[in-house]
Amino acid sequence: MKKHSIGKILILVLLMLACVTGCAKDNSKITIVGSSALQLLAEQAGNDYRLTHPSSNIVVQGGGSGTGLSQVQVGAVQIGTSDVFAETKKGIDAKKLKDYKVAVVGIVPIVNKGVGVKNVSMKQLRQIFTGKLTNWKQLGGKNVPIIVVNRSKGSGTRDSFEDIVLHKQKAIKSQEQDSNGAVKKIVDTTPGTISYISFPYANGDNIQKLSIDGVKPTNKNITTNKWQLWAYQHMYTKGKPDKKTKAFIKYMLGKKVQHDLVPKIGYLSIDDMKVTRDSDNRVIKVGK
């Protein structure tokens, strides 16, 4: 009797394995891996897409921009998502990848309300993150030491922030947190902290959004590049996408997602942008 039950279990396990590997080869599946910032948008878009395309099977995973780019480069997934241009990531051959910009997200410096500062200049911001300014007094605020909370090295938000603010200077070594949520919680509760965060997360009782050079962090200011701290949300495919992947990306760029879902989540639609930016940070007005 025992022999039989063990044998049966073994066969069952083998069958399950066969099924799992078999399912993975299923061609109708679109796997999207990468940037956690884009995960939410892709998930919701995927769910809506399924309503109109019942045969589709869209799986969305996080893992970070680096994971997204490297997975799509080796062809393990159909779509790799990233907060940064593939050109700026070491070890990625951007020529092999096709870039689809699906949304824009703003980044805003935030401080704990206790510091007494609401506006900084771009230069001051750079000096804070390179460690040259160490007390809020130096910026006209209260006598509180500045505590910098950075994002994890190599994270998309950090790369975008450093590209625009630091101009190749090195940030001081400081605390690092790897998610918007953790950053928000720390700045909300710790006196003297400064960090930066995507627009949709920038709210909290003790959180003060900073203006830069008098420009307020609003979506409208992003569309004209008056507010310079913003980043594209990219979807990358390896070479030309297959039919099903292409259809989904078309849906992502379509009216329903861009005018409905994207603003709902707190991102900006690509259609609203009056400027474009390339991987070398050159900004060009649309239509010129």
Partner 1 sequence: MNDKDKLKEVVDQAIADQQVPHVKLKKMGPSSVDIEKLTKPSKETHQEYWGKGLTYFAIGLIIVLVVSIIGFVGYHGLATFIDNHVNVFHFLTSTDWDPGEGKNHVGAAVMIVTSFAVTLLAALVATPFAVAIALYMTEYSSKKGASFLQSVTELLVGIPSVVYGFLGLTIIIPVIRTLFGGTGFGILAATLVLFVMVLPTITSLTVDSLKAVPSHFRKASMALGATHWQTIYHVVLRVATPRILTAVIFGMARAFGEALAVQMVIGNAVLMPYNLVSPSATLTSQLTSQMGNTVMGTLPNNALWSLALLLLIMSLVFNFLVKLIGKRGQK
Residues that bind partner 1 (CB under 8 A): 2-3, 6-7, 10, 36, 62-67, 69-70, 74, 89-92, 147, 152-155, 173-178, 182, 185-186, 189-190, 193
What is the smallest separation between the CB atom of 17 and partner 1, expressed in angstroms? 12
Closest by CA position to 47, among listed 198, 39, 158: 39
The residue (of 47 and 152) whose beta carbon lies closer to partner 1 is: 152
The residue (of 64 and 106) whose beta carbon lies closer to partner 1 is: 64
Contact of 211 with 118, CB cutoff 8 Å: yes
What is the smallest separation between the CB atom of 187 and partner 1, expressed in angstroms? 10
Contact of 80 with 69, CB cutoff 8 Å: yes
Cβ within 8 Å of residue 284, ≥6 positions away: 275, 276, 277, 278
The residue (of 148 and 262) whose beta carbon lies closer to partner 1 is: 148
The residue (of 126 and 158) whose beta carbon lies closer to partner 1 is: 158
What is the smallest separation between the CB atom of 143 and partner 1, expressed in angstroms? 14
What is the smallest separation between the CB atom of 64 and partner 1, expressed in angstroms? 2
**Is the alpha carbon torsion for 111, 39, 152, 121 positive or negative?**
negative
The residue (of 6 and 284) whose beta carbon lies closer to partner 1 is: 6
CA of 228: how far to CAs of 21, 49, 114, 284, 286, in Å? 46, 33, 26, 13, 16
36-52 and 243-253 are packed helices; what angle lies between their axes, rounded to 10 degrees? 110
What is the smallest separation between the CB atom of 87 and partner 1, expressed in angstroms? 13
